[in-house]
Structure 1
Amino acid sequence: MIPLRFVIFFGLLSLVVVSGHIYLYRRLFRDTAAHRAWRRAGVVLMALLASAILGSRLLTRFFPSEPTFAFANLGWYWMGAATYLLLAVLSLGGLRKLSGWLERRRAEKVEPAPVSEERRQFLARASAGAALVATGGMASYGVWRAFTPPVVNEVAVRLPGLPKALDGFTIVQLSDIHIGPLIQRRFMDAVVAQTNGLKGDLVCITGDLVDGSVEELGFAAGSLRNLRARYGTYFCTGNHEYYSGDEEWSEALTRMGMTVLRNRHVSVGEPGASFDLVGVDDWGAQRSGYPRARSYDLAAATAGRDPSRAAVLLAHQPSGWRELAQKAGMGLQLSGHTHGGQFFPFNLVVSAVWEHPAGLFREGDSHLYVSRGTGFWGPPLRVAAPPEIVKVTLLA
């Protein structure tokens, strides 16, 4: 059975994609030339590119092969470029209309000159050319920023109850890597080397590690075996693990030497000086129909824990920090999920929608850090929201 949510989502996505490509066809092909062959080529090209966006995920899921993955990659690249092309065309079109309106206002009492078809076509071509140049610049920068090493953000957090012997303890956080058709072993090897270079006492991965099955992505994810930290590597699930097989990936990551925290906690440190590391499953899992045992359950994760001990919570989404994590005595929550919007203008949308979109937040003695993510999802773009690796220093 296909979930109703998916049907609604795909229907809305199709409406947006088809409408956007019709608009691009009109501005880039119909308005720039009257040649029938040129317009036909535009129809074919826009139809192909719209199909790449809408059909790529379905093709790779049901017909996994090199050609379908190549087609899917084309769809992801084009989705990012199309976003900026639409913004550029709309902006330039708006400027043209504003200029025309001002010109008409100045000449209200003057007999309007007949519209020149040549001038109209010249302006359409100039606008299309400028839009393509602007799109090329923005998209090229975004792709470069997505694939170059993430920035390292270092923060210090005073953790209530942390033993003095652990003052200066460091946690390196990776999040939202999204290993998949575009992020493969080479990218992962570079991330692992960069992470090891930070010499953290502990490494944590706060969900959305993969976008595909263990069989498809096991080799690329296998690079994580090389992570080195004194107290090991820990993982909590994100929503994309559920799309990719949460139980299969939990087993695979355990075989790679990670400790998978699914609604449970462990003690980190030495017998005389330690803190609790708590991990929960993804916040949205229960709403998606997963049983409680595989959904966010902070009560189960903290069962039997001494509330006077220092605690760090790994939770993929920042949801629940104020309502649950603070009340449960979590001095620090490490999350991701939002990507910080990933690229303009979606960073503005995420900032408007999410109360805690990215960065460090504090209320009383409780802290929340929301990572922008180490990789990317969908279009390989990072504009105004660079990828990051977070190094947190805990202070007593």
Structure 2
Amino acid sequence: MRIVFLAVVLGLLALIHWYLWKRLVRDVSRPGSVFRRAGTLLILLFPLLMLTFFAGRALGLPFAVEQVIAWPGAYWFVVMLYLGLALLAGEIVRPLLLRALERRALDDAGRLSRPGLTGTEAEAEAPAVSAEEKTGTGDEAQDGPASPERRLFVARAIAIGAGAVAVGTVGYGSHAARQLTTKHVPVQLAGLPRAAHGYRIAVVSDIHLSSLLGASHCRRVVDVVNRTGADLVAVVGDLVDAGVEDLRSAAAPLAELSSRDGTFFVTGNHEYYVGAEQWLDHLRNLGMVVLENERREMPYFDLAGVNDVAGEDSGQGPDFTAALGDRDRRRTSVLLAHQPVLIHDAVEHGVDLQLSGHTHGGQLWPGNALAALANPTLEGLERYGDTQLYVTRGAGTWGPPVRVGAEPDITVVELSSPQA
């Protein structure tokens, strides 16, 4: 099944890149030109770098090599996405531009031959187009009887426009990915005692330390979290995308996370891709409390955490019975679980509030539509029966450090008691 999936993905990528080559290289250049040779080479090189970036760990590449490949490989993914979308939109504009240029050329020819005629009369007097010209082949048949010069002009105009849209979108998204905002979300919990009214939990997820996001990114996240002055910090998974030895220095600022009641961590799916056990030991050394299917009784509520579903392959998946089975249900419960899909288990176990991440809010438009299909809640606060679910968009990025339509955030969840 994996081989079939891989074959489909590679086939789709080949089709996309053939289309990009056709519209960005072949259609805008002369055969044998330097531009065509260079463009063809780049259209072959960039996808190879992209595939090597995403498969680097499986290929056993040294981390230093991954760091070199990461930038062009990751950025090509998002450039490819927005180039493709812009060019597809250009397919709608292309015949309209060609028709407008052809009509203008006919009008100009008519005015030159019969200065006294109107545009309509000039068109009627213009030389007839042969059946061969009307039929054409390939793009000529699609675009109509436009001359090669006009087709080349339109192809270049659309290619330049698509390139400008893609570069502008990626530039905007790169800037947006660094604008880490703090959201404040009040959540009323029915059984929360009056003394806990106003208790604040800083929720951060999907930091994704990697060959692309290192110590400066981690420092930015830690500084924003600490400025919230929260009572408790909850790191809900997908902290890392490489091993401890590769990211030891990048993760060092995490030791400076501060709050009155400590920092708590649960695994995300990415921890299991890079050696979860080593990371959990290291995070404990950095001062975090790791919740592996377990619960801590805080002064005003129970704080539980379950492993991510990706741990099931190694026998370390979520265990709600271990985390919540023997608790006093009269006490308010807050659950840390990386993926929102675990909300249904949380409802069954009487959880009052689940805090999750994983979705990135979609990260790259229009990917938010796909992410919404795969998750019960894409972002924000929603209610499922007596259980509330809050999903943060996360503080980092997976793959390219770019966000479009889903800016990163750290959320301060302020608990509210109905008795206050």
When normalised by structure 2's length, the TM-score is 0.86
Residue 15 of structure 2 is aligned to residue 15 of structure 1:
no
Structure 1 residue 138: Cα displacement: 0.6
Look up the SS of the partner of 2:12 in the other structure.
helix
Aligned-CA RMSD value = 2.2
Rounded Cα–Cα distance in structure 1 between residues aligned with 2:85 and 2:222: 36
* Alignment counterpart, residue 50 of structure 2, candidates 49, 53, 57: 53
Give the match for residue 161 of structure 1. Answer: 191
Q: Aligned runs of 1:306-321 on 2, under 5 Å?
A: 306-321=328-343
Rounded Cα–Cα distance in structure 1 between residues aligned with 2:317 and 2:339: 12
Kindly provide the CA deviation profile for residues 265-303 of structure 1, in whole angstroms up to 9, marking residues without a partner as x: 00122xxxx2100100112432xx221xx1011111113
Answer whether contact 1:80 1:380 (CA < 8 A) is retained. Answer: no
Kindly provide the CA deviation profile for residues 308-340 of structure 1, in whole angstroms up to 9, marking residues without a partner as x: 11000000001131x321221111000111111
Residue correspondences, number: 380
Structure 1 residue 8: Cα displacement: 4.1
Rounded Cα–Cα distance in structure 2 between residues aligned with 1:186 and 1:146: 13
Q: Aligned runs of 1:381-392 on 2, under 5 Å?
A: 381-392=402-413
Answer whether contact 1:207 1:237 (CA < 8 A) is retained. Answer: yes
Structure 1 residue 102: Cα displacement: 9.8
Structure 1 residue 65: Cα displacement: 4.7
Look up the SS of the partner of 1:31 in the other structure.
helix
Give the match for residue 258 of structure 2. Answer: 228
Q: Aligned runs of 1:100-179 on 2, under 5 Å?
A: 112=129, 114-148=145-179, 150-179=180-209
Structure 1 residue 221: Cα displacement: 1.1
Give the match for residue 299 of structure 1. Answer: 321
Answer whether contact 1:160 1:365 (CA < 8 A) is retained. Answer: no
Change (3 A) 1:353 1:239: closer
Residue 314 of structure 2 is aligned to residue 290 of structure 1:
yes
Look up the SS of the partner of 2:301 in the other structure.
strand
* Alignment counterpart, residue 250 of structure 1, candidates 275, 280, 284: 280
Structure 1 residue 209: Cα displacement: 0.5
The answer to which of 179-188 and 66-75 deviates more is: 66-75
Rounded Cα–Cα distance in structure 1 between residues aligned with 2:170 and 2:414: 35
Change (3 A) 1:136 1:344: same
Structure with the greater alpha carbon radius of gyration: 2
Residue 363 of structure 2 is aligned to residue 345 of structure 1:
no
* Alignment counterpart, residue 24 of structure 2, candidates 1, 23, 28: 28
Look up the SS of the partner of 1:320 in the other structure.
helix
Answer whether contact 1:88 1:131 (CA < 8 A) is retained. Answer: yes
Change (3 A) 1:341 1:98: farther
* Alignment counterpart, residue 276 of structure 1, candidates 277, 302, 306: 302
Answer whether contact 1:153 1:389 (CA < 8 A) is retained. Answer: yes
Residue 240 of structure 2 is aligned to residue 240 of structure 1:
no
Structure 1 residue 99: Cα displacement: 5.9
Q: Aligned runs of 1:207-222 on 2, under 5 Å?
A: 207-222=237-252
Rounded Cα–Cα distance in structure 1 between residues aligned with 2:348 and 2:66: 48
* Alignment counterpart, residue 378 of structure 2, candidates 322, 332, 357: 357
Kindly provide the CA deviation profile for residues 32-80 of structure 1, in whole angstroms up to 9, marking residues without a partner as x: 0114132221221111001011112334551215344211221001111
* Alignment counterpart, residue 198 of structure 1, candidates 205, 214, 228: 228
Answer whether contact 2:67 2:212 (CA < 8 A) is retained. Answer: no
Look up the SS of the partner of 1:329 in the other structure.
coil
2:407 partner letter: P
* Alignment counterpart, residue 93 of structure 1, candidates 91, 95, 120: 91
Structure 1 residue 368: Cα displacement: 0.4
The answer to which of 213-222 and 33-42 deviates more is: 33-42
Change (3 A) 1:103 1:363: farther
Structure 1 residue 90: Cα displacement: 1.2
Look up the SS of the partner of 1:265 in the other structure.
strand
Answer whether contact 1:14 1:54 (CA < 8 A) is retained. Answer: no
Kindly provide the CA deviation profile for residues 127-170 of structure 1, in whole angstroms up to 9, marking residues without a partner as x: 1111111111111000111123x111111111232221111100
Look up the SS of the partner of 1:285 in the other structure.
helix
Change (3 A) 1:35 1:333: same
When normalised by structure 1's length, the TM-score is 0.91
Change (3 A) 1:87 1:209: same
The answer to which of 349-358 and 42-51 deviates more is: 349-358
Give the match for residue 262 of structure 1. Answer: 292
Q: Which runs of 5+ in 1 are unaligned?
A: none
Rounded Cα–Cα distance in structure 1 between residues aligned with 2:356 and 2:7: 30
1:222 partner letter: A
Q: How many percent of aligned residue pairs carry the same amino acid?
A: 40
Answer whether contact 1:283 1:319 (CA < 8 A) is retained. Answer: no
Structure 1 residue 22: Cα displacement: 1.2
Rounded Cα–Cα distance in structure 2 between residues aligned with 1:354 and 1:328: 20
Answer whether contact 2:336 2:354 (CA < 8 A) is retained. Answer: yes
Look up the SS of the partner of 2:158 in the other structure.
helix
